[in-house]
């Protein structure tokens, strides 16, 4: 049960990271090539989401170091013919 809880925590952080990466990519593409038109708010948004991505990647690294990354059963990806 403890392993399941660890996996849930790792997966939850991973999902939050993915959402934050999507936001960062959105703001990055929105302002790409238009950097000189960056409003303070637009630049703040991009920096904010990129900062969150960086922090969440650090959290995942820490969880991995603590052995909390879910084990993947690779055999599940192979089918018997």
State what percent of residues in the chain have pLDDT above 90. Answer: 38
Residue 53: CB atoms within 10 A of its CB come to 20
Distance CA(8)–CA(70), nearest Å, equals 9
Look at residue 61 and tell me whether its pLDDT is greater than 80: yes
Distance CA(7)–CA(19), nearest Å, equals 18
Quote the pTM value.
0.70
Q: Quick: pLDDT tens for 39-53.
A: 666 677 888 899 999
- pLDDT for res 15: 94
């Amino acid at each position: 049960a403890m392993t399941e809880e660890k996996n849930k925590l790792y997966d939850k952080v991973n999902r939050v990271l993915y959402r934050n990466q999507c936001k960062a990519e959105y703001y990055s593409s929105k302002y790409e090539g238009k950097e000189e038109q960056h409003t303070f708010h637009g630049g703040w948004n991009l920096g904010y989401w990129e900062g969150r991505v960086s922090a969440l990647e650090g959290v995942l690294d820490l969880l991995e170091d603590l052995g909390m990354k879910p084990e993947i059963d690779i055999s599940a990806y192979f089918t018997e013919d």
